[in-house]
Chain A
Amino acid sequence: ELRPLPVCLFFKECEQQAFLVHLERFSISPEMATQEVQPNETLSNLKAESDTLKTKLEDERAKLHDVELHQVAEKVDGLGQFIMKTRRTLKGHGNKVLCMDWCKDKRRIVSSSQDGKVIVWDAFTTNKEHAVTMPCTWVMACAYAPSGCAVACGGLDNKCSVYPLSLDKNENLAAKKKSVAMHTNYLSACSFTNSDMQILTSSGDGTCALWDVESGQLLQSFHGHAADVLCLDLAPSETGNTFISGGCDKKANVWDMRSGQCIQSFETHESDINSVRYYPSGDAFASGSDDATCRLYDLRADREVAIYSKESIIFGASSVDFSLSGRLLFGGYNDYTINVWDVLKGTRVSILFGHENRVSALRVSPDGTAFCSGSWDHTLRVWA
Chain B
Amino acid sequence: MTISTLTRGGAQREQQHCLRKMERVIIAMQDPDIGLKMRNQRLLITVIPHAMTGNDIMEWLIQKYNITDEEAGHLGGLLVQYGYIYPLKEPRSLILRSDDSPYRFQTPYFWTSSRWPASELDYAIYLAKKNIRKQGELVDYEKQNYNLLHKRINHTWDFVVMQAREQIRASKQRRKADRIVLECQEQAYWLVNKPCPGAFDVFDLGPERCNVLNSRVILNSSLLFFLLRISSVPNNSLSSHFLLSLSCVCSFMKFCDQYHQHDPIMSGCLPSNPWISDDTTHWTINTDLVGTPTRLRVERWSFSFMELLNDCLGRREFMTYLEKEFSGENLCFWEACEDLRHGESSKIILKVEEVYKTFLSPGAARWVNIDSKTMERTLEGIKQPHRFVMDDAQMHIYFLMKKDSYPRYLKSDLYKNMLSKAIVPQETKKSVFPFMRRQRHSSPSPAMVSQATEDNEPKYL
Partner-B contacts on A (CB < 8 A) = 2, 5, 7-11, 15, 18-19, 22, 25-26, 28, 43, 46-47, 49-50, 53-54, 56-57, 60-61, 63-69, 72-73, 76, 79, 84, 87-88, 103-108, 122, 124-125, 127, 129, 138, 140, 146-149, 156, 164-167, 184-186, 193-198, 204-206, 212-215, 217, 219, 224, 226-228, 230, 236, 238-239, 248-249, 258, 262, 264-267, 270-272, 279-281, 283-284, 290-292, 298, 300-303, 305, 310-312, 314-316, 323-328, 334-337, 343-344, 351, 353, 364, 367-371, 376, 382, 384
With known contacts A108-B445, A298-B248, A325-B255, A228–B222 Cβ distance under 8 A: no
B225 interfacial by beta-carbon distance below 8 Å: yes
With known contacts A206-B212, A335-B74, A353-B74, A312–B65 Cβ distance under 8 A: yes
B198 interfacial by beta-carbon distance below 8 Å: no
Contact of B229 among A26, A46, A325 (CB under 8 A): A26
* Complex interface: chain B residues within 8 A of A248 (CB): 6, 209-210
Contact of B264 among A9, A284, A369 (CB under 8 A): A369
The 7 closest A-B pairs by CB, nearest first: A148-B446, A325-B259, A325-B263, A312-B65, A384-B275, A195-B342, A165-B447
Q: Which residue on A lies nearest to B256, using beta carbons?
A: A327
Q: How far is the CA of A236 from the CA of B255 in the complex (A)?
A: 14
Scan residues 210-264 of chain B and give those whose CB is less than 8 A from a CB of chain A.
Answer: 210-214, 216-232, 238, 241-242, 244-246, 248-253, 255-256, 258-260, 262-264
* Complex interface: chain A residues within 8 A of B220 (CB): 265, 267
B25 adjacent to A197 (CB under 8 Å): no
Give me 14 other A-B pairs in contact (C-beta within 8 A), A15-B219, A194-B341 excluded. A66-B242, A67-B245, A103-B446, A105-B443, A146-B461, A197-B344, A217-B345, A267-B223, A302-B222, A312-B61, A325-B266, A326-B255, A336-B74, A351-B68
* Complex interface: chain B residues within 8 A of A272 (CB): 14, 209
User: Separation in Å of the B3 CB from the closest CB of chain A?
Assistant: 5
User: Separation in Å of the B227 CB from the closest CB of chain A?
Assistant: 5
Binding site secondary structure of chain A? loop
A314 adjacent to B25 (CB under 8 Å): yes
Q: Which of B162-170, B279-287, B360-368 contacts A (4 or more CB under 8 A)?
A: B279-287
Contact with A along B312-345 (1 / 0, CB 8 A): 0000000000000000000000000010011111
With known contacts A11-B219, A262-B221, A88–B275 Cβ distance under 8 A: yes
* Complex interface: chain A residues within 8 A of B219 (CB): 7, 9, 11, 15, 19
B384 interfacial by beta-carbon distance below 8 Å: no
Q: Which residue on B lies nearest to A156, using beta carbons?
A: B207
B70 adjacent to A149 (CB under 8 Å): no
Partner-A contacts on B (CB < 8 A) = 1-6, 14, 16-18, 21-22, 25, 61, 65, 67-68, 70-71, 74-75, 78, 204, 206-207, 209-214, 216-232, 238, 241-242, 244-246, 248-253, 255-256, 258-260, 262-266, 269, 273-276, 280, 282-283, 286, 305-306, 338, 341-346, 387-388, 391, 395, 398, 440-443, 445-448, 450-451, 459-461
